A and B are shown apart, each in its own frame.
Chain A
Amino acid sequence: MSIWLARLSVDRWRRASTPEADAAPTALILETAHGPRITAANDAGLAAGARPGMLLADARALCPDLAAVPADPAGDLACLEKLALWAQRWGPWSALDPPDGLLVDVTGAAHLFGGEERLLKDVAAAFAQRGLTARAALAPTAGAAWALSHYARQSAIIPPVVPSGQLRFQGRGTTEGGGGASYRDPKAGLSGQRRSPRHPDPAGRGPPPPVGEDMLRLLADLPVAALRLDEDVLTALRRLGIKRLGELAGVSGAGEEDLAREAAARDALRRRFRNGHSPAANPLLRLDQLLGKVPEPLLPVIARPIPLVQRRLMEPLRHRAPLDTVLADLAADMVRALEARGEGARRLELALWRVDGEVLQRRIELAAATREAGHITRLFAQRLDDVDAGFGIEMVQLRASWSEPLALSQADLDAAAEDHGTSLAACIDRLSVRLGPRAVTRPVLRASHIPERAQSWQPPLEPVPASQHPLAFHTRPLKLLDRPEPIAVLHAAPDGVPQRFRWRGEVREVTRAQGPERIAPEWWRERSTTRLRDYYRIEDAAGRRYWIYRLGLVGDGRGGVPEWFLQGLYA
């Protein structure tokens, strides 16, 4: 649906002024290089001869008492934006059509208003209520709707009553009655006569969208200006003698009889406008857009309510401390609101409503989008020093009038680990991933007498099996070698403590010894030829303490001369 607010600027001016002022001939002017130029005029002004585009001096020549009011294009555009949002009451999606039009996508929404016809009536009534002249039209494409809204009748400026009879066939979703007539009739384009077939069309009928040829037939008699073309392109077309859409479509005039000639003529036209890359400079592109053969992207208007949080206070605040508390609450709320939108505030406005109706405003601007409650609170706290609470503040409102996208950023895992350290599980995971799961282990006791078997290794975070505590009088070494290393011993008695031994190429004198502690082989597990061990704790001359054992006894029948091994290192 396209809505043309034909006299937006005048309507706005009229709403702002009095009826007496409207009765006088008035023109809205804009300063140009050649002097003030009229952009719009009210009814009295038009009647007096003022026309848009005229120089004010010329208009004054026609009507000396023409009042001149500066126009406000920026205000018009802002108003149009608001209207675009407001127009989303008719459809979920609306776009601006500057300077004075709106496009609303009402696909599938017309039935909510009781059909397309009543939808248009509703549009007309709603705009009339706001005091705006509006013409609305429905069409399958935005271009066609625009064309219809602007040029549905030759006299474009008419009272804002949509000619329902005329627009009825132009409503979206309507087709020609017979399927056989759905090819283009070149005669229609040639003659330029108004072929407005008034096929009664039930509004609620399931709408197969009209194909381009069909729509072209319906729109054939609209002027080429309905294609939203630039002024110079329109001039060129006028000089070429192409005045209506039908003529542009069937440019050769040969039509069906001579397709080759038609194609050649169309090709000539395309070459004539080949430099026009923008749609507004290329009538063929515009025509295709109007017929829906080429997509026409539109920028929708999306309402972005500014984040606003407020607190109504049960008791008026008269002191600074509770105000700071409220401010901290508001900042936290604001941070939450901003976070939900993925934004950070650049400008924040704090409004304090006093009991006597006074509103105190404080505003801060931030160098970068921020979403930190503490930061916001601190900044405002400095601006609140000069607040005069009077009889008390009863409402506090905080709004972010300028916010920028600020992605939710996770302080990444490593940074968190940098600051607070990793947990034990995370640490174990990192270690086992790099070093292998077998490398990170926890020693646990096992029920065994043999020293190397009395200890096993299990994953570090698994529960430790219950075990008997080792006997306290067994003084065990701090470290055990992975496999006991043989040592050469020199001892006085074959079964006694060695006096001297050689380990790793160094001869050590034994100065102290304790032992033996006999550990018998585990016969239920080992072969019968396994020899027993006699362990000694020894200390050599340098004070190094070792755990050595003699494997077997002389004459135990399980081997020859007993061998000596060094198994553990005492601290």
Chain B
Amino acid sequence: MFPKPSPARVLSREQPEPRWRPGLPAQPFHSEIFAPANEASGAGLALALARDALGASGEGEDTRQVLWVQDRAAIRQGGRPCLAGLPVDLAHRLIHVAAATPEDALFALEEGLKCRDLACVIGEIAGNPRALSFTASRRLSLTAERHGVRLWLVRLDAAPDLSSARMRWSARAAPSAPGRWDAAAPGPATWHAELFRARTHQPGQWSLSDDAGTLRFASEPDLEKPMESGAAPDLVHLARPTVGRSLAARVHA
């Protein structure tokens, strides 16, 4: 009876910030990330952006599933997601779709966007297939905005052709910061991300890193957070911010 607001209204409801930064509450529903095929920077940035968006918008624990669609070429070049390497909060709720052709992948993406029980959809399509035309991307944008399911489409080794994605990134891996415990080891995942087309933000370039599940600018290391991704918990952050406050209050907060 009450029609859904048009996509234009959905987008323009909040005053956009001119500069993009991680943790913005209003995230677009359809983003594209162009990345080289022989590195996992595209998928990694897509996951980081997705977790950033879900964390910014979601409250409480999100138990909805995440759909990850890959076409055959993307699987051949970039491999399949590895469960043990996924972020812990996503690993148990990932559904993987191995589509044979880009057409099937687009179908799976659209069906996923129509599903109200999905947290988000992540797609990986290699190259510039004929099926992924402007019309197809427009379909994806409209479906995503209509149903409120976000899509991050990773384009492996693709030329940035016409697309209706609201934000278009170009990502590549960047040298990481030294590991906290082993300076010779690769550090947390770091990407050089260029936002070259966005509807609500100015284009820009950033060096982003996935810092223990939090997307942040790599250029301004925050010492309150442990730099080491994964294992050993660094209890420094318990001690540092408690100036003038009790430790218990901090723990309970």
Residues of A within 8 A of B (CB): 374, 417-424, 426-428, 430-431, 434-435, 438-445, 451, 454-455, 457, 460, 464, 470, 472-482, 503-504, 506, 511-514, 537-539, 541-545, 568-571
Bound state CA distance, A460 and B41, in angstroms? 26
Is B253's beta carbon under 8 Å from chain A?
Answer: no
Minimum Cβ distance to chain A for residue B175 (Å): 4
Bound state CA distance, A474 and B231, in angstroms? 8
The 5 closest A-B pairs by CB, nearest first: A571-B44, A421-B116, A514-B185, A424-B117, A427-B115
Q: Once the chains bind, are B115 and A421 in contact (CB under 8 Å)?
A: yes
Q: Once the chains bind, are A473 and B118 in contact (CB under 8 Å)?
A: no
Known: A443-B94, A454-B84, A571-B43. A514 touches B186 (CB 8 A): yes
Candidates A435, A441, A571; contact of B100 at CB < 8 Å? A435
User: Which of B12-20, B24-32, B106-114, B127-135 lies at the interface?
Assistant: B106-114
Q: Once the chains bind, are A570 and B96 in contact (CB under 8 Å)?
A: no
Report whether over half of chain A's contact residues are helix, strand or loop; otherwise say mixed: mixed
Bound state CA distance, A454 and B115, in angstroms? 30
Bound state CA distance, A420 and B114, in angstroms? 8
Candidates B80, B82, B115; contact of A426 at CB < 8 Å? B115
Q: Once the chains bind, are B176 and A543 in contact (CB under 8 Å)?
A: yes
Most chain A CB within a 10 A radius of its CB, from B84, B174, B230: B84
Candidates B4, B40, B117, B231; contact of A473 at CB < 8 Å? B231
Bound state CA distance, A538 and B81, in angstroms? 19
Q: Once the chains bind, are A479 and B186 in contact (CB under 8 Å)?
A: no
Q: Once the chains bind, are A479 and B78 in contact (CB under 8 Å)?
A: yes
User: What residues on B are CB-neighbors of A482 within 8 Å?
Assistant: 75-76, 79-80
User: What residues on B are CB-neighbors of A470 within 8 Å?
Assistant: 83-84
Minimum Cβ distance to chain B for residue A479 (Å): 4
Q: Once the chains bind, are A439 and B97 in contact (CB under 8 Å)?
A: yes
Bound state CA distance, A451 and B81, in angstroms? 12
Is B21's beta carbon under 8 Å from chain A?
Answer: no
Candidates B80, B81, B176, B230; contact of A475 at CB < 8 Å? B230
Q: Once the chains bind, are A422 and B115 in contact (CB under 8 Å)?
A: yes
Minimum Cβ distance to chain A for residue B81 (Å): 6
Q: Once the chains bind, are A539 and B176 in contact (CB under 8 Å)?
A: yes
User: What residues on A are CB-neighbors of B48 within 8 Å?
Assistant: 571
User: What residues on B are CB-neighbors of A438 within 8 Å?
Assistant: 98
User: What residues on A are CB-neighbors of B65 within 8 Å?
Assistant: 424, 460
Is B165's beta carbon under 8 Å from chain A?
Answer: no
Q: Once the chains bind, are B231 and A475 in contact (CB under 8 Å)?
A: yes
What would 24 A/B residue contacts be, using CB atoms closer than 8 Å? Answer: A418-B146, A421-B114, A423-B117, A424-B118, A427-B118, A431-B111, A435-B98, A435-B104, A439-B97, A440-B95, A443-B80, A473-B232, A475-B85, A476-B85, A478-B44, A479-B81, A482-B80, A514-B182, A543-B172, A543-B176, A544-B38, A568-B82, A569-B78, A571-B210
Q: Once the chains bind, are B232 and A464 in contact (CB under 8 Å)?
A: no
| Number of residues from B at the complex interface, CB < 8 A | 63
Most chain B CB within a 10 A radius of its CB, from A454, A514, A538, A571: A571
Q: Which residue of A lies closest to B192 (CB)?
A: A543
Q: Which residue of B lies closest to A512 (CB)?
A: B186
User: What residues on A are CB-neighbors of B186 within 8 Å?
Assistant: 512-514, 537-539, 545, 570
Report whether over half of chain B's contact residues are helix, strand or loop; otherwise say mixed: mixed
Candidates A374, A514, A568; contact of B85 at CB < 8 Å? A568
Minimum Cβ distance to chain A for residue B184 (Å): 6
Q: Once the chains bind, are A374 and B1 in contact (CB under 8 Å)?
A: yes
Candidates B38, B47, B80, B232; contact of A571 at CB < 8 Å? B47
Known: A426-B115, A512-B185. A479 touches B82 (CB 8 A): yes
Produce 1/0 per residue, B163-187, CB < 8 A to A. Answer: 0000000001111100100101111
Bound state CA distance, A272 and B50, in angstroms? 91
Q: Once the chains bind, are B82 and A477 in contact (CB under 8 Å)?
A: yes
Bound state CA distance, A568 and B43, in angstroms? 13
Q: Once the chains bind, are B100 and A568 in contact (CB under 8 Å)?
A: no
Candidates B85, B97, B182; contact of A478 at CB < 8 Å? B85
Q: Which residue of A lies closest to B233 (CB)?
A: A472
Is B92's beta carbon under 8 Å from chain A?
Answer: yes
Minimum Cβ distance to chain A for residue B205 (Å): 15
User: What residues on B are CB-neighbors of A571 within 8 Å?
Assistant: 40-41, 43-45, 47-48, 85, 189, 210
Q: Once the chains bind, are A420 and B111 in contact (CB under 8 Å)?
A: no
User: What residues on B are CB-neighbors of A460 within 8 Å?
Assistant: 65, 95
Q: Once the chains bind, are A478 and B40 in contact (CB under 8 Å)?
A: yes
User: What residues on B are CB-neighbors of A374 within 8 Å?
Assistant: 1
